[in-house]
Amino acid sequence: MQKLELKAAKRTSFGKKESRAARRNAQVPCAIYGGGETVHFTVDAKDVKPLIYTPQSYIVEFDIEGTKEVGVMREVQFHPVREEILHIDFYRVQPGKPVAIDIPIKITGNSEGVKQGGKLVQSKRKLRVSGLAENLPDELVVDITELGVGKSIFVGDLHYDNLTLLTPATTAVCAVRVTRAARGAAPVAAK
């Protein structure tokens, strides 16, 4: 899994007033929790943009005034009107303990259903998985070569080594839908 390094400054005062002051100085208030003491800190707003505005998932390595912390992003709070990041929560990654994270899906192959005139529809862009940090892939590969018209691939159909899928098994990942052109071609082919 890809890693992103961020420099951070520890926060000693909390509350709305202090958070607003940090945001005015182009800082984003953050917290990392789980497996020990919760640490509150701020990071530069421009430094977190590669983490927020991307389909990729990262393990984040923080340097909080000389103290090293490793975590994964858990939740981001945005301003309801402006696209300003208000707060980010991270979950601490501990050696030997599994971590839950959303990983992007990569579709590969050329579906039989698409060749017959169907349309591929991708319902999920990311799946929540649990695994050790060293076993987490950059993306989850889903092969659609055998997928026919009117058929779907569900989370329960997928299996990956050293990973547990946390997304419900009945969730559809992708499907090949019947199009009007495919429906019109079927009666002509039958004659």
**Superfamily of domain 3-94, CATH level 4:** Ribosomal Protein L25; Chain P (2.40.240.10)
- Find, among 75, 65, 76, 69, the residue nearest to 94 by Cα: 69
> How many CA atoms are closer than 13 Å to the CA of 147, on its beta-carbon side?
29
Average confidence score pLDDT of the chain: 87
Interatomic CA distance for residues 136 and 57, integer angstroms: 10
Question: For 125-179, what is each residue's pLDDT tens digit?
Answer: 999 999 998 888 999 999 999 898 889 999 999 999 999 999 999 999 999 998 7
Q: Calculate the alpha carbon distances from 127 to 39, 101, 154, 175 in Å.
A: 28, 8, 11, 16
pLDDT at residue 188, as a whole number: 47
Q: Calculate the alpha carbon distances from 68 to 6, 7, 59, 65, 107 in Å.
A: 10, 10, 13, 8, 36
Residue 190 pLDDT > 50: no
Average pLDDT over residues 81-89: 88
pLDDT at residue 184, as a whole number: 62
Q: Which pairing describes strands 126-131 and 140-143: parallel, antiparallel, or unpaired?
A: unpaired
Interatomic CA distance for residues 34 and 32, integer angstroms: 7
Selected residue with higher pLDDT from 182 and 33: 33
Interatomic CA distance for residues 56 and 45, integer angstroms: 18
**Backbone phi, then psi, for 169, in 5-degree steps?**
-65, -25
Interatomic CA distance for residues 174 and 107, integer angstroms: 9
Question: For 90-121, what is each residue's pLDDT tens digit?
Answer: 999 988 899 989 999 999 999 888 888 889 99
Please tell me the pTM assigned to this model.
0.78
Residues paired with 85 in a beta bridge: 78
Class of domain 100-190 (CATH, top level): mainly beta
Contacts of 173 (CB under 8 A, 6+ apart): 105, 122, 123, 124, 127, 142, 152, 153, 154, 155, 158
What are the residue boundaries of the structural domains of the chain, listed by start? 3-94, 100-190
93-116 exposure pattern, b = at least 16 Cβ within 10 A, e = fewer: beeeebbebbbbbebeeebbbbeb
